[in-house]
Amino acid sequence: MSFINYSSRELNCKIVYYGPGLCGKTTNLQYIYNKTNPQQKGKLISLATETERTLFFDFLPLALGDIKGFKVRFHLYTVPGQMFYAASRKLILKGVDGVVFVADSQVDRMDANIESLEDLKINLTEQGYELYSLPFTMQYNKRDIDDIAPVETLSEALNPTQVPEFSAVAPKGDGVFETLKDVCRQVIMELKKHY
Amino acid sequence: MNGSSDLVVYEEEFNKIDEELNNLYRQANAKVVFLVDKNGQLISSVGATHDLDTTSLASLTAGNIAATGSIAKILGEQEFTILFHEGEKDNLHISLVGERIILVVIFDQRTSIGLVRLRVKKTTENLEKIFDEMTRKAEQEKLESKLEDSPFAEISDDDIEKLFM
C-alpha cells in the first residue's frame, strides 16, 4: 500500500525482505545503509536480540530522488526469519508494496527456503495479497560459500514463475543493489498501472 | 494491487489534517503531535520535531500498534485503542483513528494525561470525518479514472534508472 501525498509531493513505498533465518536479510539492509549517501538515508533500526538475531524487524528509510516532481521514498523492512517468530512476521507484511525473497544457497538450507517461501505465501494470502501478483524479486545469497546448490536448482525449486532473480554475496554487496533496484522498478511500474 | 488500497492525500485534506493536529498541539499543550498510517508511513507532524527522527518514530509506532493489536486478538479483544507510555520526562499517548490511522501525542509535565485524552477524543472525531471524505474522494477519482492528469502515467525506465545514479 503506497502512500501518495499530493500536498508535500511525496511517494512512499514499503518493501519487505523475506527469507529463512540467517539467510542475510539484515546483511542486505546493512550493505545498502553503508553504501548510501547520508542525505539519502535515515537511521537503520534493528529490533534484534543480544545475539543479533532479528526479533521484530529491521527498518531502513531511503530517499532515492525525484520522479515527475515527486520525492520517492522506499521503506525497507526485514522480517525475523526464525520459524517461531511467525506472529511478528505477519505484521511486517501489512501494507507491503514489493517483496524480496532472500534464499540461502547452501544445500542444507533448501528445505528452510521452501518452508519460508510457503510461509510467505500463506501470510500474504491472510492479508489479501497474492505473492505472484505483487512486485517480487528473488535473490540467491551466499554464492561465495562452498557447499551451495547451483542457481538452476534453486530457480527450479523456488522460482516457478521466473520472477527476476539475482545471485548475491550480501556482505560484499554483490547483487544487493541489483536486487533492490529491480524490486523498486517493479513497485513504481505497478503504481504507474494504477494511477 | 490486492490487499488494502493505497493512501492518497490531496492538498485540501492535508491542510485540514494539519489544522486539526495544530489545534490538538495547542489545546493539549503537547510537545509533538503526529499522524502515522498503520503501515508505518508518517502522514503529518507538528510541534518540536526538529530534533526528532520522525520517520523512525512512525515506523516503530506502527510496529508497536501492530504488536499490541495482535496481543489484543489473542486475548479476545478487537483492538487496544489507546496505548500510554510513561517516561521520566516525556510521555507518549498513542490512539487509533478509524481503521488505519494512528495519532501520537508526546507531552511532558506542562500538561496532564487527562487533558491529552480529552483533546485527543475530539480531534479523533474530526480526523475520522476527514479520512472518510478522503477515502470517498480517492475511490471516486479511481472510478472516474483521471489518468490523464496522473503524474505517474508517464514514468519511464529512464526515470527509475536516474533514482539509482
pLDDT at B72 over 80: yes
With pLDDT > 70 as the criterion, what percentage of chain A qualifies?
Answer: 99
The total of structural domains in chain B comes to 1
Domain of residue B85, CATH code: 3.30.450.30
Kindly state whether residue B151 falls inside one of the protein's structural domains.
no
| Number of compact structural domains in chain A | 1
Q: Is A179 exposed, middle or buried (0-12, 13-18, 19+ CB in 10 A)?
A: buried
Predicted confidence (pLDDT) at residue A159 exceeds the cutoff of 70 = yes
Residue contact B9–A7, C-beta within 8 A: yes
- In which domain, by residue range, is A45 found? 3-194
**Is residue B157 a part of any domain in this protein?**
no
Instruction: Supply the pLDDT for residue B26.
Output: 97
Return the amino acid letter for B29.
Answer: N
Shortest distance, CA A125 to any CA of chain B (angstroms): 9
Contact B60 A129 (CB under 8 A): no
Q: Judge whether residue B2 has pLDDT over 50.
A: no
| Distance, CA of B29 to CA of B21 (rounded, Å) | 12
Q: Whole-model pTM?
A: 0.89
Predicted local confidence at residue B22, as pLDDT: 97
Distances (CA, A) of B154 to A86, A122, A195, B51, B123: 40, 35, 10, 37, 39
Nearest residue in B to A47, CA atom: B60
In a domain, B5, yes or no: no
- Looking at per-residue pLDDT, the higher value among B157 and A23 belongs to A23
Report, as an integer, the average pLDDT of A149-172. Answer: 98
β-pairing, A45-48 with A54-67?
antiparallel
Residue with cell 539492509: A29
Q: Does any domain span residue B156?
A: no
Phi, psi angle pair for A46, to nearest 5°: -125, 115
Cell numbers for A67 = 520522479
User: In chain A, which ranges are E strands?
Assistant: 3-5, 10-18, 45-48, 54-67, 70-78, 98-104, 136-141, 165-167
User: What is the model's pLDDT at position B149?
Assistant: 61
Q: Which residues from chain A sit within 8 angstroms of residue B164, using beta carbons? A: 64, 177, 181, 184
- Which residue range forms the structural domain that includes residue B117? 11-146
**Residue B151 pLDDT more than 90?**
no
Tens-place pLDDT, residues B21-71: 999 999 999 999 999 999 888 999 999 998 899 999 999 999 999 999 999
Residue B106 domain-assigned?
yes
Whichever domain contains A172, its CATH number is 3.40.50.300
B14–A181: do the CB atoms touch at under 8 Å?
A: no
Q: Beta B32-37 vs B101-107: how paired, if at all? A: antiparallel
Residue of B nearest to A71 (CA): B163
- Is B162 a member of any domain? no
Smallest CA–CA distance, residue A5 to chain B, in Å, is 5
**How close B63 gets to chain A, by Cα (Å)?**
8
> Looking at beta carbons, which residues of chain A come within 8 Å of B147?
195
